Amino acid sequence: MAAGTSNYWEDLRKQARQLENELDLKLVSFSKLCTSYSHSSARDGRRDSSDTTPLLNGSNQDRMFETMAIEIEQLLARLTGVNDKMAEYTNSAGVPSLNAALMHTLQRHRDILQDYTHEFHKTKANFMAVRERENLMGSVRKDIESYKSGSGVNNRRTELFLKEHDHLRNSDRLIEETISIAMATKENMTSQRGMLKSIQSKMNTLASILFESLKSVLPIVQNSLIHFPTISCLLMQCK
């Protein structure tokens, strides 16, 4: 029975680690997609408004964004389900006495799930903000072109409008640079988190080995202590 429950727990941990690895890769790709969208949108804004390629590119990136977002949400839901099963296992009857170690492992998986969920929603919100801003800028560009073609002259009002548009574009570039720095920092932290996970896993394995070694040595030491007074009496009689 103990072996069966232990195998069930290890199977749940294996599922959790596999889903966490898949989420890690998906989130990195998701962040790169959002970063490339903001950069391509800035480049497209400097092209001729009659060029239809930017619209096609933006449409493709929107579809990729929606697809990847759905995939990540599904992985998060599956990982949540595995964590719930692990929680039920720790609360069920007949669980081995190492309940504290199981709770520690469960909490670590919960923390990872929380980090991935927060990272996903933050990246998604950044993408939505960039897309909304680009849609607004596109509308402004269309209004400018329409006004210029309708009036046929570069009057003072048009010049002020164009200057304001340039100011908005400069602000947009500064925001894009800030987002790029944040994305690079996030990727670095993700890499460091993977290293820490590997180190923690090795430390847990080493602790388990030491615990098993102590369990095997302890009966021998206890047996030696029990027989030690008998050996001392025999030596005294010999003298």
Q: What is the tally of structural domains in the chain?
A: 1
Comparing CA positions, the residue from 76, 96, 103, 74 lying closest to residue 8 is 96
Residues near 162 by beta carbon (within 8 Å), at least 6 away in sequence: 144
- Which CATH number belongs to the domain containing residue 98 in this structure? 1.20.58
Confidence of residue 98 (pLDDT cuts 50, 70, 90): low
pLDDT in tens, 222-237: 676 565 555 455 555 5
Residue with the bigger pLDDT between 173 and 72: it is 72
Confidence of residue 83 (pLDDT cuts 50, 70, 90): very high
User: 231 lies in a domain?
Assistant: no
Mean pLDDT of 2-25: 86
User: 192 lies in a domain?
Assistant: no
Indicate the range of 79-83, 121-125, 149-153 predicted with least confidence. 149-153
Segment holding 217, helix H or strand E: helix 156-238
Confidence (pLDDT) at 97: 54
Confidence (pLDDT) at 22: 95
Q: Coil, helix or strand for 78?
A: helix
pLDDT in tens, 169-223: 777 777 777 787 877 777 777 777 777 777 877 777 777 777 677 777 767 766 7
User: 201 lies in a domain?
Assistant: no
Give the DSSP letter string of 83-152. HHHHHHHHHSTT--S-HHHHHHHHHHHHHHHHHHHHHHHHHHHHHHHHHHHHHHHHHHHHHHHHHHHHH-
Confidence (pLDDT) at 136: 79
User: 73 lies in a domain?
Assistant: yes
User: 222 lies in a domain?
Assistant: no
For residue 3, pLDDT over 60 is answered with: no
Do 83 and 16 meet the contact criterion of CB atoms below 8 Å apart?
A: yes
Alpha carbon distance, N-terminus to C-terminus of the chain: 55
Residue range of the domain that includes 131: 8-36+60-151
Residues near 24 by beta carbon (within 8 Å), at least 6 away in sequence: 116, 190, 194
Residues near 26 by beta carbon (within 8 Å), at least 6 away in sequence: 68, 71, 72, 75
Q: How far apart are CA 112 and CA 119, in angstroms?
A: 11
- Rounded to two decimals, the pTM is 0.53
Mean pLDDT of 122-127: 90
User: 121 lies in a domain?
Assistant: yes
Distances (CA, A) of 74 to 21, 61, 118, 136: 14, 20, 15, 31
Do 57 and 45 meet the contact criterion of CB atoms below 8 Å apart?
A: no
Instruction: Pull the structure tokens for residue 50.
Output: 């009659």
Place of tokens 């239809």: 52
Confidence (pLDDT) at 55: 40
User: 31 lies in a domain?
Assistant: yes
Confidence (pLDDT) at 50: 43
For residue 41, pLDDT over 60 is answered with: no
User: 78 lies in a domain?
Assistant: yes
Q: Encode burial over 87-104: b for 16+ CB neighbours within 10 A, e otherwise.
A: beeeeeeeeeeeeeebee
Q: How far apart are CA 180 and CA 157, in angstroms?
A: 35
Confidence (pLDDT) at 56: 40
